[in-house]
Amino acid sequence: MAKAYILNRTGKPKMEIRDETQCPLTRRAFTGGSTVALVAACSCMGQGQHYKAVGTPEAVMQEPVGSLLYVSFVAGSRGMWKIDRISPVTGATLPAAPRIDVVESATPQSRVADSLWQLQGVTSNVRYTTHDEVTELEAKQEGLNRPEARRAALIPIRKTSAWWALAQDERRKIFEETSHHIAIGIEYLPQIARRLHHSRELAEPFDFLTWFEYAPKHSDAFEELVRRLRSTKEWTYVDREVDIRLSRI
């Protein structure tokens, strides 16, 4: 049986992961069934504990990889999220699929051979959020993988070339001062947990893969949130958006 460990900051094994249900990050390694040589950040342990281990746990060499976490959303027959519906919002939609497997790793991932489609993104630093906004978000937001959060939304978004032609300060003005993206979003914390993945730099079909988790009783609040954001000026710069809703199996 292969073994995997979560490492602490000094590289010492902090927790042994005995099966794939304990940490979604290791799922791919476990289903591979071979010697597990990779342990990286686990979203259940919070950001900022991202380490890559190479070799067996006994002869481990780890290198910090900052706060980057590569995440693939693999549509196919595996995964703990059942696809309830895929709705095109703007532009081309994505093909139907039964499930989505969320695969996390510290390094870029290759294509899964039998996937129906696959999207990859990477977590990153904030671009538009001010110090005070970060403080408020951190005080209010909840992490992913809460037991009660049995619904999720994956909303891949691409923005227009006009958006990308703007300067950083012009984009911030549209994003927050005009569209109030953060101010609106904060109203829905902590009920809605979120993680933003950047895909533009990975030459993917979308610029962002946005991921949200919430309890079934907060589904209506989530609908209201997306309706409000889609009516803002920021969304006039969105030229492709697909809304994928999921239930935890």
Q: Which residues bind ligand HEM (CB under 6 A)?
A: 126-129, 137, 155, 157, 159, 181-182, 185-186, 188-189, 192, 194, 196, 208, 210, 225-226, 229
Nearer to ligand HEM by Cβ, of 25 and 238: the residue is: 238
Six token digits for residue 232? 């803002």
* Number of other CB atoms surrounding residue 195 within 10 Å: 18
Q: Which residue has the tokens 């919430």?
A: 214
Burial of residue 3 (number of CB atoms within 10 Å: 0-12, 13-18, 19+):
middle
Name the residue whose CB lies closest to ligand HEM.
185
CB of 37 vs ligand HEM, minimal distance in Å: 33
What's the min distance (Å) between Cβ of 138 and ligand HEM? 11
- Which amino acid type is present at position 173? K
Closer to ligand HEM by Cβ: residue 30 or 211: 211
3-state SS of 180-215? CHHHHHHCCCCCCEEEEEECHHHCCCCCEEEEEEEC
**CB closer to ligand HEM out of 36 and 192:** 192
Minimum CB separation of residue 18 from ligand HEM in Å reads: 33
Phi, psi for residue 62 in degrees, rounded to 5: -120, 150
* Beta-carbon count within 10 A of 9 CB: 11
User: Minimal distance in Å, beta carbon 163 to ligand HEM?
Assistant: 7
| Residues forming a β-bridge with 231 | none
Distance from C-alpha of 182 to C-alpha of 172, rounded to nearest angstrom: 11
Q: How far is the CB of 10 from ligand HEM (least distance, A)?
A: 31
Which residue's CB is nearer to ligand HEM, number 27 or number 194?
Answer: 194
Q: Among residues 74 and 155, whose Cβ is nearest to ligand HEM?
A: 155
- Residue 42 · residue 24 · CB < 8 Å: yes
The least CB distance from residue 63 to ligand HEM, in Å, is 26
Residue (144 or 196) nearer to ligand HEM, CB: 196
Q: What gap in Å lies between CA 156 and CA 161, rounded to an integer?
A: 17
Tell me the three state secondary structure of residue 229: helix
